[in-house]
Amino acid sequence: MKCSDVYLHICDNLDQRLGTRRCREIRLHLRVCRDCRAYLASLKRTVILYQSVPSPRLPRAAHDRLIRVLNAHGCFPEPATRPRKRTGRKRT
């Protein structure tokens, strides 16, 4: 596996089972490539920083417009909608 393959596929495989063939190839490459290990460390730091920042609150009209624009540009496999409000009741 080349560095360009790692850069292309590492994000796709962050949430997959670690036993997949591609994940094994990426892990093998990371053992020998300092640059790709640094890239992975940077991705991990980015995720941690992103998770530490509170999500912004958009007014409903701005959110709906954003979703329409993203849907129009094919950014979602299925049309995205606004998440339903939680009622505090558990589904059965």
Please count the structural domains in the chain. 1
| Mean pLDDT, residues 69-88 taken together | 67
pLDDT tens, position by position, 36-47: 999 989 988 998
Residue 86, in any domain of the structure: no
What CA–CA distance (Å, rounded) separates 53 from 32? Answer: 33
Residue 91, in any domain of the structure: no
What CA–CA distance (Å, rounded) separates 9 from 40? Answer: 11
Residue 55, in any domain of the structure: yes
pLDDT tens, position by position, 9-54: 877 656 556 677 888 888 899 999 999 999 989 988 998 898 898 8
Closest C-alpha among 20, 25, 34 to residue 6? 25
Residue 90, in any domain of the structure: no
What's the pLDDT score for residue 20? 78
What's the pLDDT score for residue 77? 66
- Evaluate whether 40 touches 27 at the Cβ level (below 8 Å): no
Residue 48, in any domain of the structure: yes
Residue-number span of the structural domain to which 30 is assigned: 1-79
Residue 92, in any domain of the structure: no
